[in-house]
Chain A
């Protein structure tokens, strides 16, 4: 028995010795220099990509061999493609949703009865970056007007804006001298939505930007599929004029991915006889996340909320999305 036991023990010791030696090497390298670490990372990355290429080639060979009988290409399993089933997903030609949307607060815009008139304002005594952000928004939304808030209560602003027949109100909130939130209020009957701003990049900080023209932009609203998403998308659509001027080749994109709404502003150019498009970013670049949607105009104390993000109750699964 003792002989049998001793043999594996010895082997273990040997292996331990090896591992300790191996462990020492990276420690020393970590101590040595940053360059070594970078080299290590690069070699790992190269190894991984090489392995991936090998796998791809194998699959390609199999596909060529089998021809038509080949298994269909697999879709990558991302968090978004495996999202939880949502009953409120709007199907095409859903009679009832159409009826609901035909009579909602945005219906007058979509029936072309009203033209958008947008007012942009900010927190009281806003600092320079918030003003800058407002100017950037003004650049994207044709015909928007900026007014200084001057410590006027937001409910009063809503009242005055309604009297002056504005159709939308945008209030940029700031914290720590940086814009951190946006309140969108559709006038005169609401609804109101509050978004958090993430990852804001000003035009100045983007490499290779172009100058914005005065043409009315095209608007792309991407991936707003649930009932809540529809409402939000319709709200964004109401900010922009009805007839885009295609001559300007200007496009504003609001792309929803995993409940984060990516705002981008581009000029496009067709190349190779319309087979390819080149994009030139005009800026700004930021991401929005919906926090709540309220029925009626801004009234956080007494208003009725249509949807509130309750983080501990709703965000229990990373595959559940609401927009």
Chain B
């Protein structure tokens, strides 16, 4: 089973009864007691004798603790699995064999739909695969033509690999390394992104191109440089990262001239919308789980969320703070409001898109080049976690998630706040009045809060708190009338804070619409 075979327990071998020199090959059954008194029984999944970190495939405990929310690839060649709830990482390959000049991980993608396999390209032009279930690395093939650094990797839906390098060779391979077709990306290529059977490439003095993998090697669309600036000087073409929005004709690029540009392939070859952001090159872009929002990061470690719906330009929604150095890669979670970023300040960070707060940061001890987030994260809302813990099977989780999404009203997840607000906006003014009147009526009955259209996250918090408060209230009211009043005021104080925030946000929204 997929869930059971996940790397489950990680501990410092020195803290348990395991001491001294050990050689533990993968698959050996082990059994020992930890310093906290827990009894562990299982099979060795991964053992690093030097750092004395042992990963055990747990066969006894019913609630496995996962060590793989997130994978990062480092410039030293290290592949790391992160646990976001513990803020810890585990090296998946042996550190001693690595030579950064040869093994540096340049790009990384998931190799299958279960996300158990990782495919990555190294600076020595190799494509390697890593299986997270067996913790074993294997070389798939060498990309033979040329000597430039590989800087693009994409796995097509029919299990073929697209690889690109700085000299502009874009090639389609099958898993054994046989070259199926080649495309001319253009000299100075820097980035590649794919969606379905389309790929987009961009680079320095290499205009952004979109290819169809099934058709011939001619691009189906080529961008055109923006007009010269007000001094009649040509603007350099310098796309540092590129993204194709799925199921649409939209293309987004981040440039070295600190612009974020949005192209509509149906409309024209020049960008339809663009924005200049700060004064440093935009090095990383990522799509989010909302269609109209993208992330961008630059070389001084500024990380922003952008909205593509502005009338003439792309709008900055917020900055996500915490980075100290240049951002090399961003990965927006495809279904949840989380985003992971990593860079050369040696930290991998995960932000919550709704609260805009830093959820977790992990110090990874090496400069990081690429980051991937799994679908199920240990930091997600507790309801989901329980579902995961009952049975780790990914298919069940996916089914549950699909159900959750279909019945989004009952779903307490914070991700749908904006959608709900949008829905409510149409009748927003009336509801706002209702809310106020409810506020006033609060003194009479605290139960009327349930009918309020407060944001889902807040709603859940209130409902969880309420039973306890209601009980207290009943007990108190049986005693004395004066106390009763006090209790109501206390509950009101607790329940109130979410409302002004919500009201404020609706007002702002209304104002914008007018």
Which interface class (under 10, 10 to 19, 20 to 34, 35 or more) fits B?
Answer: 20 to 34
B283 pairs with A96, CB closer than 8 A: no
Q: How far is A281 from B437 in the complex, measured between Cα atoms in Å?
A: 77
The majority secondary structure among interface residues of chain A is mixed
Inter-subunit contact B326/A306 (CB<8 Å): yes
The reply to whether B325 and A302 form a contact with Cβ atoms under 8 Å apart is no
Taking CB atoms and an 8 Å cut-off, the chain B residues in 67-92 that contact chain A are 76, 78, 91
- A96 contact set on B, CB distance < 8 A: 51, 76, 78, 91, 95, 365-366
The verdict on B99 contacting chain A, using a C-beta distance below 8 Å, is yes
Query: At the interface, yes or no: B245 with Cβ under 8 Å from chain A?
Result: no
Decide if A99 is an interface residue (CB 8 Å cutoff).
yes
B299 near A97 with CB under 8 A, answer no
Residue of B nearest to A89 (CB): B363
Closest CB in chain B relative to A122 CB, distance in Å? 26
Chain A residues 81 to 140 lying within 8 A of chain B, measured CB to CB, are 87-88, 94-97, 99-100, 103
Contact assessment for A307 and B345 in the assembled complex, using a CB-CB cutoff below 8 Å:
yes
Interface: B271 (CB within 8 A): no
B346-A95 in contact (CB<8A): no
- Whether A13 sits at the interface, judged by CB under 8 Å, is no
Given contacts A302-B256, A314-B324, contact A100 B366 (CB under 8 A): yes
Complex alpha-carbon distance, A306 and B345, angstroms: 5
Least CB distance from B356 to A in Å reads 14
A307–B95 alpha-carbon span in the complex (Å)? 25
- B98 an interface residue at 8 Å Cβ cutoff? yes
A305 pairs with B366, CB closer than 8 A = no
Contact B326 A305 (CB under 8 A): yes
* Given A96-B78, A103-B76, A310-B324, A304 contacting B299 (CB threshold 8 A): yes
Task: Tell me whether chain B's interface is mostly helix, strand or loop, or mixed.
Answer: loop
CB-nearest residue of chain B to A299 = B299
The complex places the Cα of A100 from the Cα of B73 at a distance, in Å, of 14
Q: Contacts of A306 on B, CB cut-off 8 Å?
A: 325-326, 344-345, 367
User: Are B281's CB and A302's CB within 8 A?
Assistant: yes
Q: A96-B91, A306-B325 are in contact. Are A87 and B78 (CB under 8 A)?
A: no
CB proximity to A under 8 Å, residues B317-334? 321-322, 324-326
> B76, A99: Cβ atoms under 8 Å?
yes
**Interface pair B98/A99, CB less than 8 Å apart:** yes
Say whether B231 faces chain A, with CB atoms less than 8 Å apart.
no
Q: What is the CB-to-nearest-CB distance from A297 to chain B, in angstroms, rounded to a whole number?
A: 15
Q: In the complex, what residues of A have CB within 8 A of residue B325's CB?
A: 304-308
Interfacial chain B residues near A302, Cβ < 8 Å:
256, 280-281, 299
Of the candidates B256, B301, B322, B324, the one having the most CB atoms from chain A within 10 angstroms of its own CB is: B324
- Whole-angstrom distance from the CB of A212 to the nearest CB of chain B? 38
- Bound CA span A288–B2, Å: 55
Give the docked Cα–Cα distance between A305 and B300 (Å).
Answer: 6
The CA of A305 and the CA of B100, in the complex, are separated in Å by 20
Chain A to chain B contacts (Cβ below 8 Å), 9 pairs: A88-B346, A88-B363, A94-B365, A95-B95, A99-B76, A302-B299, A303-B299, A305-B326, A306-B344
The 7 closest A-B pairs by CB, nearest first: A304-B326, A87-B363, A96-B365, A306-B325, A103-B100, A304-B299, A305-B300
Task: Please list the residues of chain A having a beta carbon within 8 angstroms of any beta carbon in chain B.
Answer: 87-88, 94-97, 99-100, 103, 227, 295, 301-308, 310, 313-314
Question: Other than the known A96-B365, A99-B76, what 18 A-B pairs have Cβ atoms closer than 8 Å?
Answer: A95-B50, A95-B95, A96-B78, A96-B366, A103-B100, A295-B326, A301-B279, A302-B299, A304-B299, A304-B325, A305-B299, A305-B325, A306-B325, A306-B326, A306-B345, A307-B324, A308-B301, A313-B321
